[in-house]
Amino acid sequence: MSHLIKDKGKYPKLVLNIAGRGSTTSNVNLKRSLAIAQERTKNSTNNLPNIYASNIKFNTQPYSNEPLLAITDYALWAVQRVFEKGDLYFYNLLLDNNKIPLVLDLYDTEHYKNSENYHTKSKPLNIGCWLKTKK
């Protein structure tokens, strides 16, 4: 979450609709991600505008209440399964139907050069992405 909001300080108000997932989307965790984003913005060399907590609101609700959240939640779950379990089945279903055009692996710092941490249909996620998380 902190990577998502680190450059959003230019907006006077930002409402993030989030699919609730137990304790991972608790108010404490969302506030922690906001604090991390504020710190990243402060330490950035890209002159990002400051993020003010009062300008960002989290609207957490069960994904079953909102169809768009259900779709997004499923796509993110499919990508998460690649990294956590090495399971490519659901990711490939979405990839084959052009539903996931890009996955950016923010934590693959070894491959930032030449944007090798960007995964597309021509360079999809693979079992190697899962294996490197097991090191």
Give me the residue spans of the domains in the chain: 2-61, 67-133
d(CA 34, CA 44): 15
Query: What is the reported pLDDT for 29?
Result: 82
Query: What is the reported pLDDT for 113?
Result: 86
Q: Are 34 and 51 in contact (CB under 8 A)?
A: yes
Structure tokens at 89: 């089945």
Q: Are 56 and 50 in contact (CB under 8 A)?
A: no
Q: What is the pTM of this model?
A: 0.69
3-state secondary structure string, the chain? CHHHHCCCCCCCCEEEEEECCHHHHCHHHHHHHHHHHHHHHHHCCCCCCCCCHHHEEEEEECHHHCHHHHHHHHHHHHHHHHHHHCCCHHHHHHHHCCCCCCEECCCCHHHCHHHCCEECCCCCCCHHHHHHHCC
Query: What is the reported pLDDT for 79?
Result: 92
Query: What is the reported pLDDT for 133?
Result: 66
Which residues, 6+ apart, have CB-to-CB distance to 46 below 8 Å?
Answer: 7
pLDDT in tens, 124-133: 988 877 776 6
Query: What is the reported pLDDT for 78?
Result: 94
> pLDDT by residue for the chain (135 residues), tens digit each?
777 777 777 788 888 888 887 776 777 888 888 888 888 888 877 777 777 777 888 888 887 888 888 888 899 899 999 988 999 999 999 998 888 899 988 888 888 888 888 999 999 988 877 776 666
